Amino acid sequence: MQLSRKFIATCLAFSTTPAFTQQAPAVAGAAATPAYQVKAPAGAPNVVIVLLDDVGFGAPSTFGGPVRMPVLDSLAREGLRYNNFHTTAICSPTRAALLTGRNAHATGIGAVENVPDERPGYSGFHTKDTATIAEVLRQNGYSTAAIGKWHQTPDWELSPSGPFDRWPTGEGFERFYGFQGGETDQYDPSLYDGTTPVMRPQGQDYHLTEDLADKAIGWLRVQHAVTPGKPVFLYFAPGAAHAPLQAPKAWIDKYRGQFDQGWDKLREEIFARQKALGVIPANTALTARMPDLPAWDTLSADQKRVASRLMEVYAGFLAHTDAQVGKLVDALKASGQFDNTMFLYIVGDNGASSEGGLLGSASYFAPVQGLPESDAARLAQLDALGGPGTYPHFPAGWAWALDTPFKWSKAVASHLGGTRNPMVVVWPKHVNDRGGLRSQFSHVNDIAPTILEAAHIQAPSVVNGIRQKPMDGVSLLYSFADAKAAARHSTQYFEVFGHRAIYHDGWMASAFHSRRPWSVIDYSQKKFEDDQWELYDLSTDFSQAHDLAQREPARLAAMQDLFTREAQRNQVLPLRNMTPTDARALPSLSAGRTSMTFGQGVVGVPESALPKTYNRSWSVSATVDTGEQARGVIASLGGGSAGWSLYLDGSGHPVFTYRLFDLKTVTLRGPAPLAAGRHQLRFDFNYDGGGYGKGANVQLLVDGKPAGMDRLPASPPGFYTIDETFDVGIDHGSAAGEYPAGAMPGYAFTGGRIDKGSIDLR
């Protein structure tokens, strides 16, 4: 077919017309040509935020810690170190404050997003009147990407049914690659590309942090190649060093034997290095051990061996992550973009985590739910810890040491061990005091205003037609040029799980409530008015070591009143103790469901969307049409730490695997491969009854006939995992089943059809 001359002429005209990125010069008497693309303000820098997870103030070598982080060290020599920077004490609220510039409760994410309730400050999602910095930058000419952990979407919107406006791609990020929940397996993660669940890339040496760095670098290269004049905003949030602690063995072994002295001695060593480096004042006091936390010398020899190895795993994990951040830095420098990049390296979204319990764990979600794990079970996995198939967390004593010189740790918002994190900022063309130390009080909600000022963008009063709440943070650009400039962030409240504090002009009033950070589930009903308030002069007491409440009762009373006003203004009130039914007023995909029907292609359904199979009897059944070579997963839930999978093995036998953390794995295998044709498969979980987490008799049936049975000594009281999903035809994330050696990730079903299945409560 010949093309008309008119069509060819039109094509030639378009091929020689400049791209519609700038408004054409106005011609007298003519209408103005519209701007087809918004350009960023002149001089707007690239912005890269690196946010690590569960890293205490005293962990990195840059701030006196035992973990060697040469990339952070190098960036600190090129830029500025901040030793008075604060987070919210826990994951989701810190990320909400970072991304919006508002206080976490003001956005609606005052607690971890998977334990929300009906109070406006604890709903578990950003309200639309607190738009993210990504959305603001996107509308002002930036390319935007979030790579890594999100943890900002409410549970009832995490399924393939959406809605997706509170996923990263609905919150201003044009590209998202990473995981949704608070954590994920580093070897077989539950990954999403945009809003689509995807399997991790193939390869035996895979590690998620490396994959995230590669994806971030690839995205940067595309942007700089296609639109070299367009600034980028990259939010890089790896899962490290949040549990599960998992790292390549070579990185773990670099620290072998380096923690045998125990956490009490390590804390003293960190403290001495901090003073020598000048990252804490010379008059800082080392705070005392918290109540209930054991001294190192009280552990048995075997407990010490396990604890030391778990700390080696953590150190290797964190050091390995720093090396991946180095790849980002190298890529920016190689492209010539680093000099015009504001690079913010935030070392932790809260203090180090005590959630591994007092002795640590090889599979920590079991003891978190009250299922015991013996010393022998931990010791049996000593050499494997941190590798594939393990799901470990270190003891709370290490978290205490890594939060040196402060009290407490992650989740305790009343004290600096939960809220004080290191930060390093590099902006080569604008930071001249290389290696400088900045000690102005600052908070994670200051980051968004800092970016906007650097980009010459006013914080918008309206975004997408919705009037915005003002930002609570204060730009930190004033501190870049002057180490002695007076702090501009004068007041800041803190609250998580009832632990609360108020900072004002150098003073802090603190009230520890009831929940110990190593007791993840705490249903204490202690009255808030019974909490003991403390008072600290942080201008002379860097570590919160000297309580002045008895000496200055009038000041303490004024600070308490200020907390109440700030709490009221920011949707913190009413305070409430945690209860098992906190979220009952919120939407739920599983509420009232006693059955779920599924078919092939259902992938990425969160565990929270299924009928609640805990503490009762239930069944899963499926009808399959098989050919001679049918193989693969029929249905699965959970992953390598806990969960179950119904599948056909490498020879076509029907198999059901049930993983009860490290307590027991049951594998029931049919006596013969399935012949070609239609078959009914069923697994029955016959619960003992009599309370929570009890045992069960389990049975596999093939075409109505018993094909195997076994006994489970216990069962999960509340969940298998917080990140793995329910999938049909594939196992998304880590493997719940014992699939054939050499099977592709996910062990997808082939050679037949999954016709229909269901999960039924009994």
C-alpha–C-alpha distance, residues 622 and 682, integer Å: 6
What is the structure's pLDDT at 184? Answer: 97
Segment (H or E) for 627: strand 618-638
What is the structure's pLDDT at 243? Answer: 97
Segment (H or E) for 149: strand 143-149
Q: Give the CATH number of domain 595-761.
A: 2.60.120.200
C-alpha–C-alpha distance, residues 302 and 609, integer Å: 41
What is the structure's pLDDT at 591? Answer: 87
Q: Quote the Cα angle for 606-611-613, to 5°.
A: 100
What is the structure's pLDDT at 21? Answer: 35
C-alpha–C-alpha distance, residues 248 and 318, integer Å: 11
Burial bucket for residue 480 (CB in 10 Å: 0-12, 13-18, 19+): buried
> Residue 310 region, left (φ>0) first, then alpha (ψ -120 to 50), else beta?
alpha
Segment (H or E) for 327: helix 301-334
Q: Quote the Cα angle for 310-312-315, to 5°.
A: 115
Q: Does domain 46-249+285-485 have CATH number 3.40.720.10?
A: yes
Enumerate the CATH 3.30.1120.10 domain ranges in the chain, comma separated.
492-569
What is the structure's pLDDT at 33? Answer: 61
What is the structure's pLDDT at 581? Answer: 57
Q: Quote the Cα angle for 584-113-234, to 5°.
A: 155
To the nearest 5 percent, what fractions of the chain are helix, strand and coil?
25, 25, 50
User: What's the predicted TM-score (pTM) here?
Assistant: 0.94
Nearest Cα to Cα of residue 410 among 91, 98, 92, 116: 91
Burial bucket for residue 21 (CB in 10 Å: 0-12, 13-18, 19+): middle
Q: Quick check: bond before 611 cis, omega within 30?
A: no
C-alpha–C-alpha distance, residues 426 and 406, integer Å: 26
Nearest Cα to Cα of residue 680 among 701, 652, 662: 701
Residue 81 CA, chain-centre distance (Å), reads 24
What is the structure's pLDDT at 113? Answer: 60
In whole angstroms, how far apart are CA 335 and each of 225, 229, 258, 286, 427? 9, 13, 38, 45, 16
Q: Which fold has domain 492-569?
A: Arylsulfatase, C-terminal domain (3.30.1120)
What is the structure's pLDDT at 454? Answer: 98
User: Mean pLDDT by 10-residue block, N- to C-terminus, for the chain (762 residues)?
Assistant: 42 36 38 77 97 98 98 98 98 98 97 80 95 98 98 94 97 98 96 97 94 98 96 98 98 98 98 98 96 96 98 98 98 96 98 97 93 93 96 98 98 98 96 96 98 98 98 98 97 97 98 93 90 98 98 98 98 88 72 93 95 97 95 97 97 98 96 96 97 97 97 96 96 96 93 95 96
Enumerate the CATH 2.60.120.200 domain ranges in the chain, comma separated.
595-761
Nearest Cα to Cα of residue 407 among 419, 395, 422, 424: 419
Enumerate the CATH 3.40.720.10 domain ranges in the chain, comma separated.
46-249+285-485
Tokens of 342: 């504001």
